[in-house]
Amino acid sequence: MQVDSDRNDPVAKDRKYLWHNITPYNEHEPPMVVTSAQGSWITDHQGRRYLDGMSGLWCVNVGYGRQELAEAAYKQLLELPYYPLTQSHLPAIRLAEKLNEWLEGEYVVFFSNSGSEANEAAFKIVRQYHQQLGHPNRYKFISRYRAYHGSSLGALSATGQAQRKYKYEPLSAGFLHVAPPDSYRRPSGMSEEAFNLQCAQAIENTIVWEGVESVAGVIMEPVITGGGVIVPHPVYLEKVQEICRRHGVLLIIDEVICGFGRSGRRFGHQNFGLKPDIVTMAKGLTSAYLPLSSTAVRRDIYEAFMGQEAYSHFRHVNTFGGNPAACALALKNLELMEREGLVKRAELLGRRLREGMEELRDHPLVGDIRSFGLILGMELVADKATKEPASPEAVKRILSGCKAKGLIIGKNGDTVAGFNNVLTFAPPLASTDEDLAFILSVFKEVMEQQLP
Q: Give the DSSP H/E element, type plus range, for residue 120.
A: helix 115-132
**Confidence check: pLDDT of 374 > 60:** yes
Q: Quick one: pLDDT at residue 203?
A: 98
> Taking the model in full, what pTM does it have?
0.96
* DSSP assigned state of 230: B
Q: Phi and psi at residue 393, in whole multiples of 5°? A: -65, -40
**Confidence check: pLDDT of 114 > 50:** yes
Average pLDDT over all residues of the chain = 96
Q: Quick one: pLDDT at residue 141?
A: 98
Could you read off the pLDDT of 162-181 as tens digits, one per residue? 999 999 999 999 999 999 99
**Confidence check: pLDDT of 355 > 90:** yes
Query: Cα angle at 67 between 100 and 45, to 5 degrees?
Result: 120
**Confidence check: pLDDT of 67 > 60:** yes
Spatial distance between the Cα atoms of 438 and 444, rounded to a whole number of angstroms: 10
The CATH number fitting domain 10-61+341-449, selected from 3.90.1150.10, 3.40.920.10, 1.20.140.10, 3.50.50.60: 3.90.1150.10
**Confidence check: pLDDT of 95 > 80:** yes
Q: Where are the domains of the chain?
A: 10-61+341-449, 67-340
Are the beta carbons of 421 and 384 closer than 8 angstroms? Answer: no
Spatial distance between the Cα atoms of 256 and 240, rounded to a whole number of angstroms: 19
**Confidence check: pLDDT of 12 > 70:** yes
Could you read off the pLDDT of 34-63 as tens digits, one per residue? 999 999 999 999 999 999 999 999 999 999
Nearest CA to 419 among 380, 372, 363, 369?
380
**Confidence check: pLDDT of 259 > 90:** yes
Are the beta carbons of 254 and 149 closer than 8 angstroms? Answer: yes
| Residue 7 or 426, more confident | 426
413 band by pLDDT with thresholds 50, 70 and 90: very high
Are the beta carbons of 164 and 414 closer than 8 angstroms? Answer: yes
Helices (runs of H) and strands (runs of E) counted in the chain: 14, 16
**Confidence check: pLDDT of 279 > 70:** yes
Looking at the DSSP assignment, which residues form a beta bridge with residue 366?
A: 380
Q: Quick one: pLDDT at residue 1?
A: 33
What integer is the mean pLDDT of 155-162? 98
What integer is the mean pLDDT of 245-255? 98
**Confidence check: pLDDT of 7 > 90:** no
Q: Phi and psi at residue 18, in whole multiples of 5°? A: -115, 135
| Cis peptide bond N-terminal to 187, omega within 30 | no
Q: Quick one: pLDDT at residue 452?
A: 83
Looking at the DSSP assignment, which residues form a beta bridge with residue 423?
A: 378, 411
What integer is the mean pLDDT of 208-222? 98
CATH top-level class of 67-340: alpha beta
Are the beta carbons of 206 and 172 closer than 8 angstroms? Answer: no
Q: Give the DSSP H/E element, type plus range, for residue 336.
A: helix 324-340
6 band by pLDDT with thresholds 50, 70 and 90: low
Are the beta carbons of 263 and 222 closer than 8 angstroms? Answer: yes
Could you read off the pLDDT of 288-321 as tens digits, one per residue? 999 999 999 999 999 999 988 999 999 999 999 9
Are the beta carbons of 380 and 390 closer than 8 angstroms? Answer: yes
What integer is the mean pLDDT of 346-359? 98
Q: Quick one: pLDDT at residue 14?
A: 93
